[in-house]
A = this chain, B = another copy of it.
Amino acid sequence: MATVTFDKAQRWYPGNDSPTVPGLDLEIGDGEFMVLVGPSGCGKSTSLRMLAGLEEINGGRILIGERDVTHVPPKDRDIAMVFQNYALYPHMTVADNMAFALKMAKVPAEEREKRVQEAAKILGLTEFLQRKPKALSGGQRQRVAMGRAIVRSPQVFCMDEPLSNLDAKMRVQTRTDIAKLQSDLGVTTVYVTHDQIEAMTMGDRVAVMKLGVLQQVDTPLNLYDRPVNLFVAGFIGSPQMNLIDAKAGKDGQAQIGNYLVPVDPAAAKQLGEGHNNITVGVRPEAWRLVGDGSGGLPVDVTVVEELGADGFVYGNCDVEGTPSNVIVRVSGRDHVSKGDRIYVTTDPQNVHVFDTDSGERLSD
């Protein structure tokens, strides 16, 4: 197995004004499961394709283990990939699609057969093995794409949103299977996803990208608890963290309208000292409902989303001049309904403070 190193790897699509990936620096440990997330179009697929050798590298290097693979053709990189757009072989049956890489590797027929059967079982494709891709549903095709990768035991897995078209149940199950498979084989894995749960549960570490630039690489929990900047804070977590402009007082106070935001001492220290525009971040589940008059942030409820177990309350905190949307997660059947005014507050350890201009995190 092997580590993967992006060393200032750059990709600039001809015809574009700027590089899609200006220079990626990322080290992925041997056997590590690295999840790559970021907004649509930020360069995730491009990075993956660079690693796989499908995009020309316009600058920098990529290493697998000790080996500089920057100019090594894909077939010699020993990578298995799940393409975002599947890229199935239309003329082959599902079984042949999955067996193709094994055939190329001259794996004996029996072994091949066995592995394909196994993968098909995991992916619920057994009864479709003799079909051609054209006669499959979207999710089935995606599973074939997945199957094509997991029959192999390569040095690196590249998976580009491999579960996006599966139903929740199947996704949970497959997610677990992949995680298990990956840890059994110990294959270094780079996994692109838009699913917050996948990102949070599957990865040893998560890399957050924006416009081709890495923002933060960290364990899921750290990412959630200590996002390094506004972007990461807003990106990780769903529904997203409430990010509200606040006034910073010299005395380490932060205020949203009349609501005095409880901030931790580390952040408080920096307030006012050059950091005048600050943004305060609170996750929806970190709000507590409090009664009127107990100093909470007043929120006028506009929408209530019931999710069964709990619900989300969307509303405005209409403090003078700065109307902001606020999302609050309320438990089970807290009786909040549209038009209500509720008051919420939170605790210092749940408050993230950022410099609005630089986006940089101020709180601890």
Contacts and interface: CB of A to CB of B under 8 A. Distances in A.
A277 interface: no
Contact of A137 (B45, B169, B170, B220): B45
Nearest to A283: B309
A142 to B, nearest CB: 8
A167 B15 CA distance: 26
Interface in A291-317: 305-310
Contacts of A142: 40
14 contacts: A40-B124, A40-B140, A40-B166, A45-B137, A84-B165, A161-B165, A164-B165, A167-B194, A171-B194, A200-B306, A224-B307, A224-B308, A225-B308, A284-B309
Interface residues of A, number: 61
Contacts of A240: 168-169, 172
Interface in A258-299: 283-286
Given A140-B41, A169-B240, A13 B135 contact: yes
Interface of A: 13, 15-16, 37-41, 44-46, 84-85, 124, 135-140, 142-143, 160-161, 164-172, 194-197, 200-201, 220-221, 224-225, 234-235, 237-240, 283-286, 305-310, 329, 332
Contacts of A310: 285
Contacts of A171: 194
Contacts of A220: 306
Given A40-B170, A238-B168, A135 B15 contact: yes
A85 B220 CA distance: 31
Nearest to A40: B139
